Amino acid sequence: SQIARFLTGIEIHPGATIGRRFFIDHGMGVVIGETAIIGDDVLIYHQVTLGGRARGRFKRHPTIGNRVLIGAGAKVIGDITVGDDAKIGANALVVKDVAPGAVVVGIPSNVRSGDVIA
C-alpha cells in the first residue's frame, strides 16, 4: 500500500473492505482506513478521508453504503454508517450516522434534504 500511495497519492489500508465498481475521481490525498467498509457503486473525490477516531483492534472506521457520493475534501470519521444513496458535500465533516438518501454538508455536517433524492 505504501508503493501505491507513493505512485498515486491514494492510501488504502490493505484491511479495508471495498465493494464492486468503487471509483475514486482525482484521487490525490484520499485516505481509507483499516476497518473501513465501502459498498458497491461508491464515488469519492480527492482529499477524502475515511478515518478512525481511536486506536485499537476494533471497528473504528466508517461503513459506507451502496451508491454513496462523497465530495472533495470530506472527512468521514469514526465507526459510523453512511446509508445507501446518501450524498456528502465537499469539505463536510461527518462524525454521526447518515440516513439513507440524505444529503449532508458543513462542519459539523447537517442534513440538507430528506430520505428521497431526485
Q: What is the mean pLDDT of residues 98-104?
A: 96
Domains in the chain, ordered, with CATH? 2-113 (2.160.10.10)
Rounded to an integer, what distance in angstroms lies between the CA atom of residue 94 and that of residue 82? 9
DSSP state, residue 40: T
pLDDT, residue 66, reads 99
Q: What does pTM read for this prediction? A: 0.89
SS3 103: strand
8 phi and psi angles, rounded to 5 deg: -115, -20
pLDDT, residue 48, reads 98
E strand map for 1-113: 11-12, 17-18, 23-25, 31-32, 37-38, 43-45, 49-51, 63-64, 69-70, 75-77, 81-82, 87-88, 93-94, 103-105, 110-113
**pLDDT tens-digit map of 34-92:** 999 999 999 999 999 999 988 888 899 999 999 999 999 999 999 999 999 999 999 99
